[in-house]
């Protein structure tokens, strides 16, 4: 019975990873701040998910499980880097995340908003991505990040206030009252 359950978990993970990979990669970009590091993190997360597929319960949310694995891998990587080099994040310009469909004004707006989001502290930045980009409910984001629900709410409120102040000070984006 156990072998059958492990096989079902592996099959669920193996067949589900391609469906969630674009979202996983986007999450990895927000965590790492760079496309190259996001590629490495997303690949590591997929490998870890396959290695630990026996721990996944088929029928539950694979994306939440993999996002949590990814977050833990990133925290581990940050700790390793802090010990080795003390290095930080890449700039948003290096990530070069541009939506090719909209016109130049929309692209500029996206860049400005993304640059402001990337300047947020990591905890707020990741929480903003999970809730506002990926569409997770606060409770789900709390489970992925392994923090209390109130912490998610606090991080979002603080991030919104910082972003509003940024664009209020600039006067360029949020001055359309």
- Inter-CA distances, 8 with 1, 64, 69, 86, 103, Å: 11, 18, 19, 41, 46
130 in Cβ contact with 67 (< 8 Å): yes
* pLDDT at res. 167: 83
3-state secondary structure 15-49: HHHHHHHHHHHHHHHHHHCCHHHHHHHHHHHHHHH
Percent of the chain surpassing pLDDT 90: 50
Q: Is the pLDDT of residue 175 over 50?
A: no
* pLDDT at res. 96: 55
Q: Is the pLDDT of residue 45 over 90?
A: yes
Could you tell me which residue, 67 or 92, shows the higher pLDDT? 67
* pLDDT at res. 20: 94
Q: What is the DSSP letter of 54?
A: G
Determine if the pTM surpasses 0.75: no
pLDDT digits (tens, 9 = 90+) for 103-152: 666 667 778 888 888 889 989 999 998 998 889 999 999 999 999 999 99
Query: 176: pLDDT confidence band, cut at 50, 70 and 90?
Result: very low
Question: What does the alpha-carbon distance between residue 97 and residue 110 come to, in Å, rounded to a whole number?
Answer: 9
Question: What does the alpha-carbon distance between residue 23 and residue 63 come to, in Å, rounded to a whole number?
Answer: 9
Q: Is the pLDDT of residue 85 over 90?
A: no
Q: Is the pLDDT of residue 86 over 50?
A: no
* pLDDT at res. 134: 87
* pLDDT at res. 49: 94
């Amino acid at each position: 019975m156990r072998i059958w359950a492990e096989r079902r978990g592996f099959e669920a993970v193996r067949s589900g990873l391609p469906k969630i990979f674009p979202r996983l990669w986007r999450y990895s970009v927000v965590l790492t701040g760079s496309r190259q590091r996001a590629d490495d993190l997303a690949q590591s997360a997929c490998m870890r998910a396959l290695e630990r597929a026996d721990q996944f319960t088929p029928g539950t949310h694979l994306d939440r499980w993999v996002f949590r694995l990814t977050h833990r891998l990133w925290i581990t990587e940050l700790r390793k880097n802090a010990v080795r080099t003390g290095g930080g994040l890449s700039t948003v310009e290096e990530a070069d995340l541009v939506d090719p469909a909209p016109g130049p004004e929309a692209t500029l707006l996206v860049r400005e908003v993304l640059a402001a989001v990337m300047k947020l502290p990591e905890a707020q930045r990741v929480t903003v991505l999970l809730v506002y980009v990926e569409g997770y409910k606060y409770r789900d984001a709390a489970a992925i990040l392994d923090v209390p629900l109130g912490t998610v709410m606090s991080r979002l409120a603080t991030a919104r206030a910082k972003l509003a102040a940024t664009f209020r000070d600039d006067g360029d984006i949020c001055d359309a009252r």
